[in-house]
A = this chain, B = another copy of it.
Amino acid sequence: MYVRNNLRWSVVWRLTRRSLLVFLIYNTLICFLYGPLNVHVLDIPWQPVALLGTAVAFYIGFKSNGSYDRFWEGRQLWGSIVNTSRVWAIRVFDFVQATPDEVIPDQRDITELHRRLLYRQVAWCNALRLHLRRQTAELWDTEVAPFLPSAEAATAKGLSNPPTHLLRRQSVEMRELFQRGLLTEFRQVALMQTIQDLLNAQGGCERIKNTPFPRQFAFFSFVFVWIFAAILPLGLVEEFDSRLALGQYHVWLMVPFSVLVSWVFNVIEVVGHTSENPFENDIYDVPMTSICRSIEIDLRELLQETELPAKVVAVDDVLY
Q: Does any Cβ of B come within 8 Å of A104's Cβ?
A: no
Q: Does any Cβ of B come within 8 Å of A243's Cβ?
A: yes
Q: Are B196 and A245 in contact (CB under 8 A)?
A: no
Q: In the complex, what distance in Å separates the CA atom of A287 from the CA atom of B206?
A: 14
Q: Which residues of B contact A133 (CB under 8 A)?
A: none
Q: Are A48 and B186 in contact (CB under 8 A)?
A: no
Q: Does any Cβ of B come within 8 Å of A26's Cβ?
A: no
Q: Which residues of B contact A160 (CB under 8 A)?
A: 297-298, 301, 308
Q: Does any Cβ of B come within 8 Å of A87's Cβ?
A: yes
Taking A161-B298, A214-B275 as given, write out 12 further A-B residue pairs in contact, using a Cβ cutoff of 8 Å, ordered by the A residue number.
A2-B214, A7-B215, A48-B232, A48-B258, A55-B261, A55-B265, A57-B58, A71-B214, A87-B199, A93-B168, A95-B192, A164-B302
Q: Which residues of A contact B (CB under 8 A)?
A: 1-7, 15, 40-59, 61-62, 64-66, 68, 71, 75-76, 79-80, 82-83, 86-87, 90-91, 93-95, 97, 100, 159-161, 164, 167-168, 171-172, 174-175, 179, 184-187, 189-190, 192, 195-196, 199-200, 202-204, 206-207, 211-212, 214-217, 219-220, 222, 224, 227, 231-232, 235-236, 239-240, 243-246, 250, 253, 257-258, 260-261, 264-265, 267-268, 271, 274-275, 284, 287, 297-298, 301-302, 308
